[in-house]
Amino acid sequence: MKPEISIVIPAYNEEESLHPLFESLYPVMTDMGRPFEIIFINDGSKDSTLGILYDLYVSHPEVRVIDLNGNFGQHMAIMAGFEHVRGDIVITLDADLQNPPEEIPNIVAKMDEGHDLVGTYRKGRQDPLFRKVASKMVNRITNRIARLNIRDYGCMLRGYSKRIVEIINISRESTTFIPALGQKFAANPIEIPVAHREREMGTSKYGLFQLIRLNFDLMTSFSIVPLQFVTMAGMLISLLSSLLVLYMLLRRLFIGPEAEGLFTLMAIQFMLTGITLFSLGITGEYVGRIYREVSRRPRYSVRKIFEHEAGE
């Protein structure tokens, strides 16, 4: 029987959480009384994640496992799952159990009402204060730059219609931020709150550096505002610098040379150097994206797919 609901779960070194996750997820899906499939994507795990997923596949006909031959990242792993979903409703879920599977029926209910994308935001978020504050700031900046309206970019528990998934699949960008891309193409999106738990097993795959990289990718994928900002800043600084040079020239002509203010000029020079390096970095981000796109390398590579034959 063709599944109505597809659950897509990327997993990277999640051996500790997979059994508790499945024990929580499977009853939720069976209680809904609708055909479903659970697609796990092993994103190049180095622990026993693949072995656990294979055991789940053997014992449950609803489980399919896609084994990637390297670590391609969370979003690319989800893309691999999107390429193989069969359901009309597609739910993405992290394997760390921070978003409880019990929230899935709420998402499906909203999809049944006619929404083609159901975003979520974490209520009672169980993260360190610094991470929560930084996340709010980044969300606001990203929404303003990318002209999106997503309350919580970090929550991957989301629902997509098959139409949205197909559009995402044909978007052949080498760097893809799935929630934002889905939001761009959604005709009737909605956001709902979901519960959030503190991570009890394993470690987060997103450190500070990875989060900064992710948000740079997000902003440069959906807007050229950073480049425009750099251009405007360069024009403003050039104007102010010209006025300063004119002032120094007039002062030299009418008052005479001055030795004071040397350290002020040095401070201004350091500031301008910093702005120049920052501008070069922003430009480099876009050049790097162009390089990745023209390289046309595969976004991920599948080693093997474990799935049951139809009718099993």
The residues, any chain, with a CB within 8 Å of residue 252's CB and separated by 6 or more, are: 258
Specify the pTM: 0.74
What percent of the chain is helix, strand and coil (3-state, nearest 5)? 50, 15, 35
The model's pLDDT over 43-95, given as tens digits with 9 standing for 90+, comes to: 999 999 999 999 999 999 999 999 999 998 888 999 999 999 999 999 999 99
Q: What is the pLDDT of residue 5?
A: 97
Cα–Cα separations (whole angstroms), residue 11 to 25, 205, 215, 276 = 15, 10, 21, 40
The model's pLDDT over 239-263, given as tens digits with 9 standing for 90+, comes to: 777 777 677 677 767 776 665 666 5
How many angstroms separate the CA atoms of 89 and 230, rounded? 41
Provide CATH code, domain 5-203+297-306.
3.90.550.10
Other beta carbons within 10 angstroms of residue 148's beta carbon come to 17
Other beta carbons within 10 angstroms of residue 101's beta carbon come to 21
Whether the per-residue pLDDT at 288 is higher than 60: the answer is yes
